[in-house]
Amino acid sequence: MNAPHDPSSAGAVLAQKAHFDAPLKLRGGAELAAYDIAYETYGELNAARSNAVLVCHALNASHHVAGFYEDNKSNVGWWDNLVGPGKPLDTRRFFVVGSNYLGSCFGTTGPASINPASGRPWGADFPIVTVEDWVEAQARLADRLGIERFAAVIGGSLGAMQALQWTLSYPERVHHALVIAAAAKLSPQNIAFNEVARQAIMTDPDFHGGHYYDKGVVPTRGLRIARMIGHITYLSGEAMAEKFGRLLRRKHLGFDFDIDFEIESYLRYQGDKFSTYFDANTYLRITKALDYYDPAGDFGGNLSAALARARAQFLVVSFKSDWRFPPSRSREIVRALLDNRRIVSYLEIDAPGGHDAFLLEDPRYHSALRAYFANIDL
Amino acid sequence: MNAPHDPSSAGAVLAQKAHFDAPLKLRGGAELAAYDIAYETYGELNAARSNAVLVCHALNASHHVAGFYEDNKSNVGWWDNLVGPGKPLDTRRFFVVGSNYLGSCFGTTGPASINPASGRPWGADFPIVTVEDWVEAQARLADRLGIERFAAVIGGSLGAMQALQWTLSYPERVHHALVIAAAAKLSPQNIAFNEVARQAIMTDPDFHGGHYYDKGVVPTRGLRIARMIGHITYLSGEAMAEKFGRLLRRKHLGFDFDIDFEIESYLRYQGDKFSTYFDANTYLRITKALDYYDPAGDFGGNLSAALARARAQFLVVSFKSDWRFPPSRSREIVRALLDNRRIVSYLEIDAPGGHDAFLLEDPRYHSALRAYFANIDL
């Protein structure tokens, strides 16, 4: 994190909101009559409108990608180590857009928003949204901002799925796609973890079938368990071993059910924290968006056929210690792109951080991104 | 599973119960004044009392290792594919003992038993029991059965920890130890999964701090989540992919929160089933027994030093697709035994079944066990 006076910080930023009145038809069949998209921008759009980069966020992040808020300087953007003046994604050269996905609880219209049909929060009635829907909404935001083509779309994990989908939904609107810590679809084990998290939330007595907003409760217990499960899959076993080992919280084993090992303390803390700020209905929908994403699905499982319409140039990055989306999943994407004679750079980094490595400041990773962005012609 | 008339079945068996009045001092400091141990035996103890084999069970199993019950023929023992006349652990030659661990909900004294001090179920007051305590109790059962030395002690997973501990607690009482799908201690990732399961149980409103027996409820929701999490770690990603892939339950994605993928259906089924028959307080204690086991702990983490007192001969077996206790964990045990010039056979099997492979009938695995048992001198 950067101190506010750090010259490489994007500085004090403002969250903005764009309202859209044209109905958005969703992949699942439902239609959103109107919606807001929360977003932030860093840097300046050049006269040719050729220097825009869209940053797509993953599970629990938001449009607050870089910089800080004037009234809350410690609230630094989630990818602040990457985005700023002189940083790998250099805001002196690029106009960076962070956009919050549909269904979020951070400003974009989502389950906690008011359903115009009822005048009450959507709750369980908010539709299931997909990666494809998110790209659709982002495209409308791009129209609003006057961006015809992005110099690059970048994302990690679920954000990488959006970057990939951009090259399929709008092949002509993406010059470069940076697809990091990605999978072209979830494995059944990935789906299994998501399903346990969903069941923890949905069986929490405070869930009330998704209509908890006017009950004065939130399914904290379920969200907490969901986050703990998720966290295990974001970290590598190696990183956990190195960071926590079998370190005890107390001097000796307690022979009770208080915290014995530091890893337990860490997980409980992560779960507690998450359950105070994240919305359960959003969590449910994000995991479904992950489960449902499968661009090869309409092509009999043939990813090469699915990616044939992509026109972008690609940088694909994976991390060896990522067991949620291991390098083999990225290599599937690379192979499918090469089958289509796309220009692809592929980087497999032997970093210990697991799936979350895409958020960390590994020097090899960051210097590769720096070089890649520097070589993008505007 | 064998039909009851199968000549290789151990046949109709009877669960037995041994009562012990001599107090058992537990590792955590508590003392059990008296307790019962549920057990079963198959085959006959020979005149020399040299042919006894102790089978140690893992998480959710019991003393019902082989055969079936006359009044419930479909209730076949959990390791029936291994134990019976003519099977790898041949009951025509060996006297096999299955013993249910302390704290269980299947007959041995546990949290649902009556606490003599209060006249009510122990519940939360039942002490935390450890692998070492289980071996202690099993040793007393062996005394009762007139078994001075076991020809072999065998177990998989948590059962393997007991087999290993037997060679440390009673080096002279174990001729051979068969240590299968084992780890000499849990990794922080292993502990993390256990902790999420525990938190799911303990935050279930029906848990009542562990005193739910007289409340007319059980923490079904928590147990269900705990089992779903566990199940993911028992299966390999490959096996899940092969068995379920991304198969849909309905023809199309539902765009709702009903079951979309078959893997979801499978997990919910496993969770539902488990939560109807397993006791939450037992589950909590078993996961603690796993977390706490670390024979090298008293030796500054030096496993070779910890295993120096073992006198048994060893067969160590691991499975390549086991990501809960991968082969590297078994190799640590093998190395430590070799450091002590123990006689060790090590087998690493390229079977797809994950951690649960130790329960399955892989021909290479079973023929190795068959050969090993056949070579044991009685």
Q: Single out the residue of B324, B326, B371, B374 nearest to residue B349, CA to CA.
A: B326
Q: How high is the pLDDT of residue A138?
A: 98
Reduced DSSP (H G I as helix, E B as strand, rest coil) percent helix, strand, coil of chain B, to 5:
40, 20, 40
Position B1 scores a pLDDT of 46
Q: What is the pLDDT of residue A6?
A: 87
Question: Does residue B355 carry a catalytic annotation?
Answer: yes
Q: Is there a contact between B188 and A246 if contact means CB atoms under 8 Å apart?
A: yes
Contact B228 A196 (CB under 8 A): yes
Pick from A181, A183, A178: which is nearest to A370 by CA?
A: A178
Mutate to test the interface with A, among B246, B250, B260 (most CBs of A within 10 A): B246
Is residue A321 over pLDDT 60? Answer: yes
pLDDT at position A2 is: 47
Is there a contact between B259 and B249 (Cβ–Cβ < 8 Å)?
Answer: yes
Cite the beta strand spans of chain B per DSSP E: 16-20, 24-25, 31-32, 35-42, 52-56, 68-69, 72-76, 83-84, 89-90, 95-99, 114-115, 120-121, 150-156, 174-180, 313-319, 344-349
| Contact criterion met (CB below 8 Å) for B171 and B196 | no
Cα gap B288→B316, rounded to integer Å = 24
The amino acid at B273? K
Question: How far is C-alpha B371 from the chain's CA centre?
Answer: 23
- pLDDT class for A1, splitting at 50, 70, 90? very low
Q: What is the mean pLDDT of chain B?
A: 96
Contacts of A255 in chain B (CB under 8 A): 27-30, 127-128
Mean pLDDT over each residue of chain A, to the nearest integer = 96
Q: Which of A205, A224, A232 sits opposite B189 (nearest CB)?
A: A232
**Mean of the pLDDT values across residues A67-90?**
97
Mean pLDDT value across residues A214-239 = 96
Q: What is the pLDDT of residue A315?
A: 98
pTM of the model: 0.96
Do A202 and A284 form a contact (C-beta atoms < 8 A)? yes
Residues 240-279 of A with CB under 8 A from B: 240-241, 243-246, 253, 255-257, 260-261, 263-264, 267-268, 271
**Which residues of chain A neighbour B267 with C-beta distances below 8 Å?**
192, 195-196
Q: Write down the pLDDT at residue B74.
A: 96
Q: Is A129 helix (H, G, I), strand (E, B) or coil?
A: coil
Question: Which of B187, B225, B245 lies nearest to residue A200, judging by beta carbons?
Answer: B225
ipTM of the complex: 0.95
Give yes or no for B195 touching A (CB within 8 A): yes
Instruction: Confirm if B357 and B322 have CB atoms less than 8 A apart.
Output: yes
Helices (H) and strands (E) in chain B, counts: 10, 16
Which residues are within 8 A (CB) of B257 and not within 5 positions of it... i.e. 6 or more apart? A198, A202, A284, A288
What is the tens place of the pLDDT at every residue in A327-374? 999 999 999 999 999 999 999 999 999 999 999 999 999 999 999 999
Q: Which residues of B touch A28 (CB under 8 A)?
A: 253, 255
Do the chains contact at B195 and A245, CB–CB below 8 Å? Answer: no
Tokens of A191: 């789906």
Determine the pLDDT at residue B6: 87
| Long-range contacts (CB closer than 8 Å, 24 or more residues apart) made by B212-216 | B212/B123, B212/B280, B213/B112, B213/B120, B213/B121, B213/B123, B214/B120, B214/B121
Residue ranges of chain B with pLDDT lower than 70? 1-5
- Average pLDDT of the segment spanning A221-249: 96
CB atoms near residue B133 (< 10 Å): 23
With contacts defined as CB-CB under 8 Å, which chain B residues touch A234? none
Tell me the shortest Cα–Cα distance from A153 to chain B, in angstroms: 27
